[in-house]
Structure 1
Amino acid sequence: MKAEFTAIIETAPEGGYWAICPEIPGANGQGETIEETKNNLRQAIELILEDRREDILRGLPEDVIQDTVMVG
């Protein structure tokens, strides 16, 4: 899945950077560089979305219709 999300990156008081994603509550990352911080945030977003998807799909009826929707 490809999508764009917003990364809000700030300097961390103890050094390095930390970031949040306003579109995905709970997604955050940190690192010594901006690139490392963005990579950690990307991984957090992927894990959260994967977990949410698995949680929703668990226990659905066998005859449910599953399709895709393109956004943006």
Structure 2
Amino acid sequence: MKTRHLTAFLHREDDMFIAECTEVGTVDQEATIKEAFAGLKEATRLYLEEFPMLETSPRYLDL
């Protein structure tokens, strides 16, 4: 199994923490930082089970 490193961003809105994984598009919102990252990890895992990332980098055409 190949390990992937994804980026997580965290920001606060009022009394909630929002964690986002921009490479995949998953988001979680919770009352604590720990819960937000745990929820994001689970959401991302479930998403990638259904929609796996490509093993190779995308190729771009020169037009």
Q: TM-score, normalised by structure 2?
A: 0.69
Structure 1 portions without partners, runs of 5+? 54-68
Deviation at 1:16, TM superposition (A): 2.1
The match for 2:33 is 34
1:8-62: CA deviation from partner (whole Å, max 9, x where unpaired): 100022x12011111102x001111111100000011001100114xxxxxxxxx
Q: Is 2:19 aligned against 1:9?
A: no
Partner Cα distance (2:44, 2:11) in 1: 18
Give the helix-richer structure, 1 or 2: 1
Partner of 2:20: 20
RMSD: 1.6
- Number of residue equivalences: 52
- Matched to 1:20, the amino acid is E
Give the match for residue 49 of structure 2.
50
| Structure number with higher strand proportion | 2
**Percent identity among equivalent residues?**
29
Q: Which residue of 1 aligns with 2:60?
A: none
Superposition misfits of 4+ residues, deviation over 6 angstroms: none
Larger-gyration structure (1/2): 1
Q: Unaligned regions of 5+ residues in structure 2, if any? A: 56-63
| Secondary structure of 2:43's aligned partner | helix
